[in-house]
């Protein structure tokens, strides 16, 4: 097997390299990732009421998530820069947690997938929530950053086990 046949970030001598995807087909690809931001109910209420000292926590986190997805190849070594065709950041309250569920769905038409872009988006959006709400509560926790779904490409579709969502 040659280096071109193996999708590895290491060449035959063990040197790190960006995988050559030039021979892969350009296909529609999509990935959805999620994280949970756990906080006290009073903190969640403050955020939802729009009374956080730093402003609109959810809207700022949404913008941060979009910006992060677009910067993924600058943040993750050996990650390909991709032409992103869609980024949707959904931040919803979860009273049972209590906290916020952060989901990102990222789309492209490219020779490689967008899982890292979706994961980066939810991570940075969640960190932004923490940053904007830390004056209210310092015990906020970021939990369970994970890929929920991906489609497109040679490996096909992946869907996480729903029982662990």
Query: Which of 139, 113, 153 shows the shortest CA–CA distance to 42?
Result: 139
Pairing of strands 99-110, 158-159: unpaired
Find out whether 118 and 37 touch, Cβ atoms under 8 Å.
no
Which residues lie below 8 Å from residue 109, measured CB to CB, with a gap of 6+?
A: 26, 27, 28, 29, 83, 85
Helix spans in the chain (H): 41-48, 57-75, 115-133
The candidate with the shortest Cα–Cα distance to 25, out of 155, 112, 84, is 112
Closest CA to 71 of 85, 62, 81: 81
Which of the residues are catalytic?
Answer: 131
């Amino acid at each position: 097997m040659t280096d071109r046949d193996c999708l590895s970030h290491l060449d035959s001598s063990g040197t790190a390299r960006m995988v050559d995807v030039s021979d892969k087909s350009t296909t529609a690809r999509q990935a959805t990732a999620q994280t949970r931001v756990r906080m006290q109910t009073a903190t969640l209420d403050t955020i939802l009421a729009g009374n956080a000292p730093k402003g609109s926590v959810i809207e700022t986190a949404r913008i941060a998530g979009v910006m992060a997805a677009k910067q993924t190849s600058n943040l993750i070594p050996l990650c390909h820069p991709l032409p992103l065709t869609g980024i949707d950041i959904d931040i919803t309250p979860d009273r049972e947690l209590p906290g916020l569920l952060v989901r990102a769905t990222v789309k492209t038409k490219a020779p490689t997938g967008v899982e890292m872009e979706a994961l980066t988006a939810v991570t940075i959006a969640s960190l932004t929530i923490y940053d904007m709400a830390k004056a209210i509560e310092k015990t906020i926790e970021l939990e369970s950053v994970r890929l929920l779904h991906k489609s497109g490409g040679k490996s096909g579709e992946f869907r996480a086990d729903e029982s662990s969502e």
